[in-house]
Chain A
């Protein structure tokens, strides 16, 4: 055991790998935070589309969600790694490929959560909104979505934790994130045990605090539920 390898490389691991400040770009947080925000937007669009009445909106959305949920994330990343440069007809940095892949992948999962949230809003709310003369957009935006999103906040946070852990897969296509930074340092220092244990702890600190936050939210938002013992 030689933990000096951690302290001497901590700056590279945390600044470049975790935050993404440095000449390699990338960064776990720099990927995870935009992916969470954009994935949420794509998820709401997909969730609403899946609930749409018109079949030409409903079926493509449903097919897309089932397709994405049926294949591994690695496969999705490879697809985007292959397709994005083809469509844009020029080389694309790994960061943008990874971001696209994560947004489209998590969007499918968040879409299912959003759909569940919308379906959990009592039917009477829709009728009441219609009766007061609101149109579809006003009803969704002002009445249904606020309630739906409040119901699904715990599952959303859980999904964001999954996304945060999944960003480690961006290292497979060579994006410089925490995992890739650890691989790079290991290739030079030959201290894999200490290195991978260290980044495991770094990942853990983030995911565990997010999951405690989600538990706190869940208790706070449903006062009738006693704290889990």
Chain B
């Protein structure tokens, strides 16, 4: 089969080699495209000395197309669920790190420093392979029946990113000068009113850029869930590559989908940030550290 069936030039500029395990067939014979791209082909052969048989149709021939769509939805589902839990954990521990009660501060600092300083991949292996070992057998059975990969991935990603988000939130809270609170109180507002009307609205706007940054990190990091068998986008990409030996096409599809997601979210959040920007306030909350 050749890609001309899909109306695409097979012999299109040829960057990658044929005599490689990745590439199944070399198209021989007189295809009209051969003549058309002769010059480009010569250029690439001349410079790099190899060609690659493009077959983009592998991306939409069944069942590969539905793998990609399923993978995309799994990535979105995994990101959304982990994001919600991570933000809740982040708010909780970020706030706890600023309370004037030492044991709580130590507890939350320990959580943050331990979880964000270990690679996410190690945490995923720990939650998927390690942690169920010490659970009671009944809970383990329940987990296995209800899709252990997904819940372990959510646990790993949200606990790791919760620690990182709590750093962002702590920096946001601490970047608001104490004078704001004092000014609010001196105008006759109560403490709750000052928080509701002044502190929280400012803090929320300050942390929009670093939270966006962190959310994009989370989205990209869901790709690690493929290592414990969650069928998300990178997993689907790899699967197509394995089944068709068309690595270039498969990786391009995955790359473009991730790019579209990340650039789209960044664009929307940039608009949001501008819409809600406080005039004259250029101070920004510190970015999340690693």
Whole-angstrom distance from the CB of A121 to the nearest CB of chain B?
Answer: 19
How many chain B residues have a CB neighbour from A under 8 Å?
46
Q: Is the interface of B mostly helix, strand, loop or mixed?
A: helix
Please indicate the chain B residues that have their CB under 8 angstroms from the CB of A82 in the complex: 22, 247-248, 251
Q: Give Cα A203–Cα B114 distance, bound, in whole angstroms.
A: 10
- Judging by beta carbons under 8 Å apart, are A89 and B50 in contact? yes
A193 within 8 A of B: yes
Complex interface: stretch among A94-102, A141-149, A166-174: A166-174
- CB-contact partner of A75 in B48, B122, B258, B290, under 8 A: B258
Interface residue from A182, A203, A211 paired with B289 (Cβ < 8 Å): A211
Instruction: Tell me if A165 and B290 are in contact (CB < 8 A).
Output: yes
Q: Given the known A-B contacts A71-B255, A165-B119, A179-B125, are A204 and B114 also in contact in the complex, defined by CB atoms under 8 Å?
A: yes
Q: Is the CB of B133 within 8 A of A73?
A: no
A165 touching B227 by the CB < 8 A rule? no
Residues of the B chain whose Cβ atoms lie less than 8 Å from the Cβ of A162: 290
Are B121's CB and A168's CB within 8 A?
yes
State which residues 36-72 of B face A: CB under 8 Å. 48, 50, 52
Q: Which residue of A lies closest to B222 (CB)?
A: A72
* Chain B residues near A85 (CB-CB < 8 A): 20
CB nearest neighbor in B for A74: B223
Q: Say which size band chain A's interface belongs to.
A: 35 or more
30 contacts between A and B (CB under 8 A): A67-B259, A72-B220, A72-B223, A72-B224, A72-B234, A72-B258, A74-B226, A75-B234, A75-B237, A75-B254, A78-B234, A78-B241, A87-B48, A89-B19, A89-B20, A161-B289, A161-B290, A162-B290, A165-B118, A172-B227, A179-B125, A192-B125, A192-B126, A193-B129, A195-B130, A196-B129, A203-B117, A204-B117, A207-B117, A207-B290
Residues of A with Cβ closer than 8 Å to B?
1, 66-67, 69-75, 78-79, 82-83, 85-87, 89, 158-159, 161-162, 165-169, 171-172, 179, 182-183, 186, 192-197, 199-200, 203-204, 207-208, 211
Residues of B within 8 A of A (CB): 16-17, 19-20, 22, 48, 50, 52, 113-114, 117-123, 125-126, 129-131, 133-134, 220-224, 226-227, 234, 237-238, 241, 247-248, 251, 254-255, 258-259, 262-263, 289-290
